[in-house]
Amino acid sequence: MTVLVTGGAGYIGSHTLVQLLEDNQQVVVIDNLSNASVESLVRVENITGKQITFYQGDVLNKALLQKIFTDHDINAVIHFAGLKAVGESVQQPLRYYENNVTGTLSLCEVMAQFDVKNLVFSSSATVYGDPASLPITEDFPTSATNPYGQSKLMVEHILNDLYRADNSWNIAVLRYFNPVGAHPSGLIGEDPNDIPNNLMPFIAQVAVGKRPSLNVWGNDYDTHDGTGVRDYIHVVDLANGHLKALQKIATKPGLVTYNLGTGNGYSVLDMVQAFEKACGKTLPYTFEPRRAGDIAACYANPSKANAELGWYASHSIDDMTKSTWHWQSNNPNGYNSQ
């Protein structure tokens, strides 16, 4: 099978490529490198000993997509390409809608033109907004509080309409909870461009000495220690969910939606403590006011993915922090280290 992976040079894409290649699938990658380095693809090739066909370009470029579908016998597409910084999306809504929504329209139009109607889409737990109860199941109401989340929700609606209009499409919408961790080789991992917004890469940069201290955004939430609770999921487990989703799509299920989370909630302080164990250092932090738009707690009920995909998250919180530390300590400046 040949899989087109959009955004394949990015964090989750690169980990998924490793598993696709290890599963003997052919892969073709399109990435505009707006938030990634080609070095990640070189390292995926080193890990797997296999070649990647790479097109540096944008999913908004239909002519390039048409060339890719002409030159390769693509069977399915995993669509990671997107912008993902919540704060930035508030500042630059048009850029986010153009990239994430119009980019997906462009991709789907070319897929339809070439009669390739198998798609796995990267959605997010952000589409649940502030959930009324926990754990979250796929039938919970959806909402968005920022343009990033809105773009994910819009794409979900578009894909639903597309399937309703033409039920020869098979689409897996995967709602990720909080991806963290790195490949056990320490060769690929999360490499944020700027000051990390997300907790785990920020903690990792404190541990490696790039940042003096962690700001803990709020310690007055209604959680076991007052700090925010999330469902952190190891990126290797998440990547595996994409292979399972491709297998599901091969059974022609129509449009299916799955939570990819562990079902466990850990607080900010739980994560700091686990990271201290992994790196053998004490990590300084201060309590700061709540971050605008944050919710107290969010974790998945993953039983639908367990039952229908045969997918289970198997990595523990210690696996997540240890592998992050392995990646960060070997590559203090990410892919620019060498």
Asked if 287 interacts with ligand UFG (CB under 6 A), we say: no
Catalytic pick among 55, 96, 128, 148: 148
Shortest CB 161 distance to ligand NAD, Å: 20
Which residues partner with 238 through β-bridges?
none
Instruction: Determine phi and psi for 5, rounding to 5 degrees.
Output: -115, 110
Which residue, 79, 76, 100, 83, is CA-closest to 252? 76
Report the residue number, 60 or 208, with the smaller CB distance to ligand NAD.
60
Is 148 annotated as catalytic? yes
Q: Return the residues of window 174-233 that contact ligand UFG according to CB under 6 A.
A: 176-178, 197-199, 202, 214-217, 228, 230
Rounded Cα distance between 82 and 218, Å, is 29
Per the CB < 8 A criterion, the answer to whether 230 and 178 are in contact is yes
Instruction: Determine phi and psi for 298, rounding to 5 degrees.
Output: -155, 115
Rounded Cα distance between 242 and 77, Å, is 11
Cβ neighbours of 182 (radius 10 Å): 29
Which residue, 103, 147, 110, is CA-closest to 7? 103
Asked if 10 interacts with ligand NAD (CB under 6 A), we say: yes
Asked if 201 interacts with ligand NAD (CB under 6 A), we say: no
Among 5, 11, 236, 320, binds ligand NAD (CB under 6 A): 11
**Residue 241's binding partner, choosing from ligand UFG, ligand NAD, none, with beta-carbon cut-off 5 to 8 A by kind?**
none
Per the CB < 8 A criterion, the answer to whether 250 and 183 are in contact is no
**Residue 236's binding partner, choosing from ligand UFG, ligand NAD, none, with beta-carbon cut-off 5 to 8 A by kind?**
none
Among 13, 241, 263, 334, binds ligand NAD (CB under 6 A): 13
From 3-11, 67-75, 211-219, 272-280, span contacting ligand NAD (CB under 6 A): 3-11
Shortest CB 124 distance to ligand UFG, Å: 4
Q: Return the residues of window 28-87 that contact ligand UFG according to CB under 6 A.
A: 84, 86
Asked if 32 interacts with ligand NAD (CB under 6 A), we say: yes
Which residue, 115, 124, 121, 96, is CA-closest to 34? 96
Rounded Cα distance between 60 and 259, Å, is 27
Looking at the annotation, which residues are catalytic? 148
**Contacting residues toward ligand UFG, per CB under 6 A:** 84, 86, 124-126, 176-178, 197-199, 202, 214-217, 228, 230, 268, 291, 294
